[in-house]
Structure 1
């Protein structure tokens, strides 16, 4: 199918989605370049997992791996139809995925509510299929939850932040909230992992509204 600009402005139907592949992509490194921890596990007992999509995953991943209590992060694709997609396929708009960061964290150090605060304050969740100058379905805002408690916390935080945004003239939040079990997470290619650590002068389109989200505790970064 010919890729067109229109494919970046709407999600594909199952009939339009690219077929993908049966096997995972190769070349994903084993170790986090900043934290020194395994990217895909195994993870120590007692840690929890959270999935956040908030625009280009290069800057989003850095925002989370700089948060104390985060044990490892992994850039990937989630929420789409195409199995094991490549970056080029995701960019086409014909897979339905959004660029996502998987965050493995120690709840004794940083709570899920703290991470929600990082999420909401690090981007503009009212922009639909874009984030700043990045346009396309792959940049849409989303939270994929790993437990009923996460689901409830994410939904409550969306309601709370919507009130804050409305008071400052912003429109409705477009962030999707889904159980992660309904949407397979596919790790991105190795060159995307900790991209801004490897390329300090690289592009980062991440930018928030400047408004504080009233969930969790004050956020601190390394």
Structure 2
């Protein structure tokens, strides 16, 4: 898996490094595996790549799925090292794994991403929306940023916004696309990206 991660990091900067450097208000998120958090080797690799392309560290977010944090004792020091180097850490697909409040506090992450499973039923009578409300409240209590995944309707955006979720991602805005197509899509977006705007993000 380490070789795959190395390839992803190389491709990210090869395809988007110059674009990110010229648009400092944008950021990308790199999804890492659980095993990538067993050592801190990637910190220097990503930092060197960012420096070589004049990309700010704050433009790179690090994501791992909630299931990747089962071994909290082994993972926590690496998370701390990433954060000390200036990277924000996000727990992806939150609500589908094994985390509890104690582990979440111990991990000391920056962002919670609410899994699409809960977003799908926000505006229905399904009681799973109560779980989403609990996750949002928990994130607020820990002063974490929140991102809702899999948003597909304006009604979902309204529901999430009213409850304090800062960011949404999903097909309502755009489907997944290759890097070049993504950059062109941003260039044609209604909000000009030449001026400072609230950060947008893509995932690699």
- Tell me the TM-score normalised to structure 2 length: 0.29
The structure showing larger relative contact order (alpha-carbon pairs under 8 Å, at least 6 residues apart) is 1
- Tell me the TM-score normalised to structure 1 length: 0.27
Q: Which is helix-richer, 1 or 2?
A: 2
